[in-house]
Structure 1
Amino acid sequence: MVMELDRRLHAFRPDLADARLSGIVHADRFAVPTPAQIIAPVAPLRPKPSEAAFIDSQLLFGETVDIFERRSGWAWVQSRFDGYVGYLPEAMVAEGERQASHVISVPRTFLYPEAELKAGPVCALSMGCRLTFVDEAETRGSRYYLCSDGTAVFADHCFPLGRPFERDPVKTALRFLETPYLWGGRSGFGLDCSALVQLAMMMAGAAVPRDSDMQELMEGEPVKRRALKRGDLVFWKGHVGIMEDAKTLIHANGATMRVTRENLDHAITRIAPVYGNPTSYLRLQRAG
């Protein structure tokens, strides 16, 4: 019997596979992964090395990956955070890794060329981006953290890595209200239903899978609809949301193309003709 592996979470092709899969899958050759970091604010992860391929997910600045191949301007990688495998533009990843000190803790912020809010930003950063700070500075009463190249981020928009920022994932989910819906998106500039849940849980100190079908299989307590409470997850085929309270769902959805609050009864009625009724309700154990 051959084990069937999820290609979203395992790097294997007929010609090349992750060396850790040797003896499990057949491939012409196996590659020992090279550690690397994302150096773009947001890097699209695609199932094929082509701009025409749909975006499966996104990787954020400072996140670490394993590289299996670089070819024709593309890198074949696997995220070390959630295990997702795919292709991204080669210029968005750099070999080697540096231990990040902080994570961006607001949905969106700016990286400045210096500790000065009047300076034109270098780029925008999303919640979840990871940076290494080496110093601090203060300008007109505003405190900034400084990177080794002198670039700066407003200090109140960052939080030290290694401990939960907000133990209530619902509070984090609510901060994304009105954020545009983006298929495969995983940032404060646009995100999908499962990314909203993943980011909210990440800031609470819990690492959860990327896609809703994976999240539905997480360990937790199955609950009845009538027993739903704040923080519980509601799953449909291909969709997930998080409960604000017993009656209100927070979800990134294609119906409004943004993150919204919606009465659960209304959502169930609206979604049913296209995707059916909810498939499960799940209560996760809080981190910490």
Structure 2
Amino acid sequence: MFAICNLAIVPLRFEPSDRSELVTQVLFGETFTILEQKEKWSKICLSTDGYEGWIDNKQFTLITENQYQKIQQKAKCYCADLIDYVTGNNTLLPVSLGSDLTFLEFTDVNTQQLIFDGNIITGVQPKSNLLQTAFLYLNAPYLWGGKTPFGIDCSGFTQMVYRLNGYFIPRDASQQAKIGEPLSFIEESEAGDLAFFDNEEGLIIHVGIIMENNYIIHAHGKVRIDRLDHLGILNTDTGRHTHKLRVIKKIIL
């Protein structure tokens, strides 16, 4: 079975319970396959990154396989505003940055005849555009599993910045660290590359986007800009290192 998210920001949970851990969020317009159904919950697999979790049955709309395939084959179109609205048929629905508007042009899916008049972004953008997008998330509060300017985690931040520019990377920092070309030194990096950080056990636990002149933008407490050196992230407020550098990856050559 196939479905689409018809609400703004829907939680995807580890277990079928409102009290369960938030693993990620499903934004308006995102599609997915249904793996298992219960009375009140469905286990789903997101189309964009294969992430799995449980979603409330009241928070999505079923679509046919044909409709699902049409949406997948169409070039993605995203909301480029921090917050805007889709309207139509006495409906006023808020949508956030990164919401997927691709399905709106398919009348058999967009049965409410929803219209979006805000700014959009589509197609593959130059690598130089990554930081411009990243700055839109500045000061967004840290939220484990979050994907929006109203709450976002470190890997959700990097994934959404890349996605909005037409590049699809995995959801988790440990997964993102497995792709791309490793660099030996910070000096070899350029703006838009990803820096990964590990814990005492050697597990990748954090990721950020490298800026020019040894700065980094990342989600830690909030989306913020700090210094980056060969040891890791140097907090500009405290003057202390907060994360230990493990590897730098060039995702876009």
Fold-level similarity (TM above 0.5): yes
Q: Classify the secondary structure of the residue corresponding to 2:140.
A: coil
Whole-angstrom distance in 2 between the partners of 1:68 and 1:123 = 28
Which among 133, 157, 162 is matched to residue 104 of structure 2?
133
CA RMSD of aligned residues (A): 2.8
Give the equivalent residue in structure 2 for 1:144: none
Whole-angstrom distance in 1 between the partners of 2:234 and 2:120 = 40
Q: Is the 2:14–2:21 Cα contact (8 Å) retained in structure 1?
A: yes
Give the equivalent residue in structure 1 for 2:33: 66
Q: Is the 1:227–1:246 Cα contact (8 Å) retained in structure 2?
A: no
Q: Is the 1:228–1:246 Cα contact (8 Å) retained in structure 2?
A: no
TM-score, normalisation: structure 1: 0.71
Which among 75, 81, 88 is matched to residue 106 of structure 1?
81
Which among 227, 230, 233 is matched to residue 268 of structure 1?
233
- For residues 27-57 of structure 1, give each alpha carbon's deviation from its aligned partner in whole angstroms, at most 9, with x where no partner exists: xxxxxxx121112211211111112211111
Whole-angstrom distance in 1 between the partners of 2:192 and 2:139 = 19
Q: Is the 2:78–2:164 Cα contact (8 Å) retained in structure 1?
A: no
Q: Any residues of structure 2 matched to 1:102-251 within 5 Å, and which?
A: 102-113=77-88, 122-131=92-101, 132-134=103-105, 148-155=111-118, 157-160=119-122, 163-165=123-125, 167=127, 168-237=129-198, 238-251=205-218
Whole-angstrom distance in 1 between the partners of 2:173 and 2:139 = 20
Which one has the largest radius of gyration? 1
- For residues 168-203 of structure 1, give each alpha carbon's deviation from its aligned partner in whole angstroms, at most 9, with x where no partner exists: 222111111122221100123221111111111112
Whole-angstrom distance in 2 between the partners of 1:189 and 1:113 = 25
Identify unmatched segments of 5+ residues in structure 2: 199-204
Whole-angstrom distance in 1 between the partners of 2:212 and 2:154 = 18
Q: CA deviation at 1:165?
A: 4.9
| Matched-pair identity in % | 25
Q: CA deviation at 1:274?
A: 8.9
Whole-angstrom distance in 2 between the partners of 1:232 and 1:246 = 13
Q: CA deviation at 1:106?
A: 2.4
Q: Is the 1:166–1:172 Cα contact (8 Å) retained in structure 2?
A: no
Residues 1:247 and 1:276: Cα distance change in structure 2 (over 3 Å): closer
Letter in 2 for 1:133: L
Q: Classify the secondary structure of the residue corresponding to 1:197.
A: helix
Q: Is the 2:193–2:250 Cα contact (8 Å) retained in structure 1?
A: yes
- For residues 187-226 of structure 1, give each alpha carbon's deviation from its aligned partner in whole angstroms, at most 9, with x where no partner exists: 2322111111111111221110000010011132323123
Letter in 1 for 2:78: V
Q: Any residues of structure 2 matched to 1:19-38 within 5 Å, and which?
A: 34-38=1-5
Q: Any residues of structure 2 matched to 1:31-50 within 5 Å, and which?
A: 34-50=1-17
Letter in 2 for 1:190: G
Give the equivalent residue in structure 1 for 2:201: none
Letter in 2 for 1:42: I
Higher strand content, 1 or 2:
2
Larger RCO (CA within 8 A; separation ≥ 6): 2
Give the equivalent residue in structure 2 for 1:7: none
Say how many residue pairs are matched.
Answer: 231
Give the equivalent residue in structure 2 for 1:94: 61
Q: Classify the secondary structure of the residue corresponding to 1:56.
A: strand
Identify unmatched segments of 5+ residues in structure 1: 1-33, 136-146
